[in-house]
Structure 1
Amino acid sequence: MAPPCGSGRRWMRAVKLTLLLFFLVPMSSVGIRNTNTIFDKKKKLEIQRQLKRLNKPALKTIKSPDGDIIDCVDIKKQPAFDHPLLKNHTIQMRPGSYPEEFLFKESNNVSSNSKPKITQSWHLNGRCPEGTIPIRRTKEEDLLRASSVANYGRQKYNSIPNDDNNAIHEYATLIEEGDTYYGMNADINVWNPHVQEQNEFSLAQFWLAAADNNGVNRDTIEGGVMVYHEMNQDYRTRLFTFWTNNGYQSGCYNLLCPGFVQTDNRLAFGASLEPYSDYGGDQSSVNFFVFKDNVDGHWWLQLGDNFIMGYWPSSLFSILANSATSVTWGGEVINEQRGGQHTTTQMGSGHFAEEGPKRASFFQNLKVIDHEVVLRGPRDNRRIVTHPNCYNLLKGDDFFYYGGPGRSPICP
């Protein structure tokens, strides 16, 4: 129907005004807001479910100076027992067997000049009582910032070192393979490397891996020190472990997935370590010793000379339930190549291996437990160094120096 005579212009102005208001009014007022509200509620419920799963009831809570919250959780109610294979598992507080020949001693090849033993920041405000284990609390903001709530703390990248020039991974590692392995040892130098991007990391670690007859890695046990903002929301160097039993399709860091049974109440996985090494000065390191108990078959982790942290039950694994097929030590960074350039993320101290003692980062006291269940130095090993102009490695008999600055005039 046509508008009344003389009012056509007013009618057209009204139509234009209506259309203008339609496009200017925020979409939230025409129905989109309700959709967002439903989405936000679903995400919040998902976050709350994850927090309830990850954060067990605490018998004592300790606030760390670095911002962490450490919950002292009943050892019998720790996350490990959420695993379906460990529902009726009986905790073992000590290994059924221990390699008698293992001795902690300084290597003559690397200048240690170490500060007092490694500690964690939360120790300044308290300790966990007997019968509990310390667990770094996962906060709501951790999950809100994570790329995926469901996958928080899970391995984002397959991290078995290989000889391919991978655009994402950078390695400077030493690998021994060709034998049957029941454990390994290494002193890992502790630094606080610069990391460029929040979703990049820099770590120093060991890998105990088991592969099938086709050479496909299926099971790994890993541990070391790392800087990883995306997971920890800061750039501190933190203690970590990791395991997988299906080629990185599942598994995750620390106690964020059920599996590792912690027995020690003094150190928390995922918590920051101190002190760091000083360039040209005092050096800090942590000794990592993993061995297979020949009574019960579990893989035990010991830090230093008196921290028996706990174990990975043999029932978690298939191939690794029996033994490992390779042992690897070294550094890894993620290189996102932002802007088409190599990352400036550092490995180790951020200095090349040639700089040597007190300047380059090191691994020392390298040992494996071989098929004769004898603890010995590495043999027939080889280096995996993906881009030696960015990060490199120089090895000795039972030690090596490694690391680098990342992007530089020789690493564009």
Structure 2
Amino acid sequence: MAPPCGSGRRWSRAIKMTFYLFFLVPMSSTGNRNTNTILGKKQKLEVQQQLKRLNKPALKSIESPDGDIIDCVDIYKQPAFDHPLLKNHTIQMRPSSYPEGFSFDEINDVSSSSEPEFTQPWHLNGRCPEGTIPIRRTKEEDLLRAGSIANFGRKKYLTIPNTQSNFGPPVHEYATYGESDDKYYGMTADINGWNPHTQEENEFSLSQFWLENGEYGQDLDTIEAGMMVFEWLYGDKNTRFFLYWTDDAYQSTGCYNLLCPGFVQIDKQIAMGARLTPYSKYDGDQVALQLYVWKVDVNAGGDWWLKINNKDFGYWPSSIFSILSDSASKVRWGGEVLNYKVNGQHTTTQMGSGHFAEEGPGKASFFKNLNVIDGLQIPRGPRDTTTFMTNPNCYNILDYGSFFYYGGPGRNPNCP
């Protein structure tokens, strides 16, 4: 873990990383994870201790129609404050500043044909009261499914290939758009939401932004958020809202959502890791999630705030980062798929709508209303951008400056 700026960097990573996996788990002979493991006393105790750590005492609990349980936790007792650097942190109930000349209302036009903004199914059965935040409860089966109790909810880079003969080494497939020739203090994006098919339990499909500083294989700080389908983590194939952060290239810091201390949530309406509905419809209504990230009080080492659908959601305290405590050096938007090449074939896991970029409006996935806050702390559209596609026959991207279409079906006659 790279310590925060000012305390000296204790770790320097020169390991060359070939693949990254999300957890190392036992597999059955068919390649599926065994969630029926018989636990010994020690393992049961570890599971219960981890569940107690993850699930804070609730002032109210709401059972969602989709089976999730949402706990309304005292805002001052949320997981963030378990972080050793946040023990004496004073929670910020609103941003201390906004980017100069930047109006969130001006970019709040997703599409004239959009349905009402996303909601979450648990809202049907109740809402969290003032002074609390909603947290999706972690269940015992979640830990058993993931296989790693201590590292549940974290990413890791590993050089160990999958040992099952019908599974190949994991390959990350990308279709992204971004720039990296400036300092960055924020970004915006509207992402239309779909429910892409995923072939395997341990494969995912996501659409997100990345704010990064550093290099893979050495040290990397990132802030990430978007939508994903990841059965391994959530137990189903529904599209869910997520965020992520790391201070050391996914090695030992950071996690999804609130599964480790770090991100401070202030909003009582949106639960990280809970389902988002409705989805966009092929050749029909398009529904978009609006994300805005910006750094407050840039010259005073301010925090990174996240706004969702024009609501101040929460922030990543600057103190939990090292090189990202100052600024980002790269901004990216786009899709990512984890492909295990089962039986030597490319996965059928879809990206976005599951249709290629050239199908265009109403059919392909999009990112639009793209902006960055640059080194002059001025909001502007992307420039000097680059696109990156690992395999355009499987997933591709077409950019038009301040927006782009992307996605694909995965395996097809041109993507065997």
Do both share a fold (TM > 0.5)?
Answer: yes
Aligned residue number for residue 121 of structure 2: 121
Deviations along 1:219-277, one digit per CA (max 9) or x if unpaired, are 00000000000000000000000000011112110000100000111101000000000
The match for 2:285 among 257, 277, 282 is 282
Question: Where does 1:375-386 land on structure 2 (aligned, <5 Å)?
Answer: 375-386=379-390
Aligned residue number for residue 191 of structure 2: 188
Aligned residue number for residue 320 of structure 1: 324
Tell me if the contact between 2:208 and 2:334 (Cα under 8 Å) persists in the aligned partners: yes
> Would the alpha carbon gap of residues 157 and 348 (structure 1) be closer, same or farther in structure 2, given more than 3 Å must change?
farther
Find the aligned partners of 1:106 and 1:186 in 2 and give their Cα distance. Answer: 9
Find the aligned partners of 1:143 and 1:192 in 2 and give their Cα distance. Answer: 24
Alignment size in residue pairs: 366
Tell me if the contact between 1:111 and 1:358 (Cα under 8 Å) persists in the aligned partners: no
Question: Where does 1:100-139 land on structure 2 (aligned, <5 Å)?
Answer: 100-105=101-106, 113-139=113-139
| 1:218 shift after superposition | 1.4
SS, match of residue 211 in structure 1: strand
Aligned residue number for residue 232 of structure 1: 234
Unaligned runs of 5+ in 2: 1-36, 159-168
SS, match of residue 179 in structure 2: strand
| 1:147 shift after superposition | 2.2
Tell me if the contact between 2:173 and 2:336 (Cα under 8 Å) persists in the aligned partners: yes
Question: Where does 1:298-309 land on structure 2 (aligned, <5 Å)?
Answer: 298-305=303-310, 307-309=311-313
TM-score, length of structure 2 as denominator length: 0.85
1:339 and 2:339 correspond: no
Find the aligned partners of 1:244 and 1:284 in 2 and give their Cα distance. Answer: 29
Comparing 393-402 and 143-152, the one that deviates more:
143-152
The match for 1:360 among 349, 357, 364 is 364
**Structure 1 runs of 4+ off > 2 angstroms?**
102-108, 214-217
Find the aligned partners of 2:148 and 2:87 in 1 and give their Cα distance. Answer: 27
Comparing 93-102 and 242-251, the one that deviates more:
93-102
TM-score, length of structure 1 as denominator length: 0.86
Tell me if the contact between 1:209 and 1:217 (Cα under 8 Å) persists in the aligned partners: no
Aligned residue number for residue 401 of structure 2: 397
Find the aligned partners of 1:358 and 1:184 in 2 and give their Cα distance. Answer: 24
Find the aligned partners of 2:111 and 2:223 in 1 and give their Cα distance. Answer: 29
What is the identity, as a one-letter code, of the residue corresponding to 1:133? I
Aligned residue number for residue 143 of structure 1: 143
1:179 and 2:182 correspond: yes
| 1:104 shift after superposition | 3.5
Question: Where does 1:194-213 land on structure 2 (aligned, <5 Å)?
Answer: 194-211=197-214
Find the aligned partners of 1:192 and 1:59 in 2 and give their Cα distance. Answer: 32
Find the aligned partners of 1:253 and 1:314 in 2 and give their Cα distance. Answer: 18
Find the aligned partners of 1:316 and 1:363 in 2 and give their Cα distance. Answer: 29
Tell me if the contact between 2:290 and 2:309 (Cα under 8 Å) persists in the aligned partners: yes
The match for 1:248 among 247, 250, 255 is 250
1:82 and 2:87 correspond: no
Aligned residue number for residue 96 of structure 1: 96
Find the aligned partners of 2:262 and 2:107 in 1 and give their Cα distance. Answer: 33
Tell me if the contact between 1:205 and 1:224 (Cα under 8 Å) persists in the aligned partners: yes
Aligned residue number for residue 268 of structure 2: 265
Tell me if the contact between 1:69 and 1:137 (Cα under 8 Å) persists in the aligned partners: yes
SS, match of residue 187 in structure 2: strand
Tell me if the contact between 2:295 and 2:304 (Cα under 8 Å) persists in the aligned partners: yes
What is the identity, as a one-letter code, of the residue corresponding to 1:101? F
Tell me if the contact between 1:111 and 1:357 (Cα under 8 Å) persists in the aligned partners: no
- RMSD of aligned C-alpha atoms? 1.8
SS, match of residue 180 in structure 1: coil
> Would the alpha carbon gap of residues 385 and 186 (structure 1) be closer, same or farther in structure 2, given more than 3 Å must change?
same
Comparing 95-104 and 375-384, the one that deviates more:
95-104
Find the aligned partners of 2:312 and 2:98 in 1 and give their Cα distance. Answer: 11
> Would the alpha carbon gap of residues 403 and 189 (structure 1) be closer, same or farther in structure 2, given more than 3 Å must change?
same
Find the aligned partners of 1:300 and 1:203 in 2 and give their Cα distance. Answer: 21
> Would the alpha carbon gap of residues 215 and 365 (structure 1) be closer, same or farther in structure 2, given more than 3 Å must change?
farther
| 1:150 shift after superposition | 1.3
Find the aligned partners of 1:128 and 1:286 in 2 and give their Cα distance. Answer: 21
Tell me if the contact between 2:217 and 2:249 (Cα under 8 Å) persists in the aligned partners: no
What is the identity, as a one-letter code, of the residue corresponding to 1:209? E
Find the aligned partners of 2:218 and 2:357 in 1 and give their Cα distance. Answer: 31
Find the aligned partners of 1:373 and 1:145 in 2 and give their Cα distance. Answer: 44
Find the aligned partners of 1:142 and 1:44 in 2 and give their Cα distance. Answer: 14
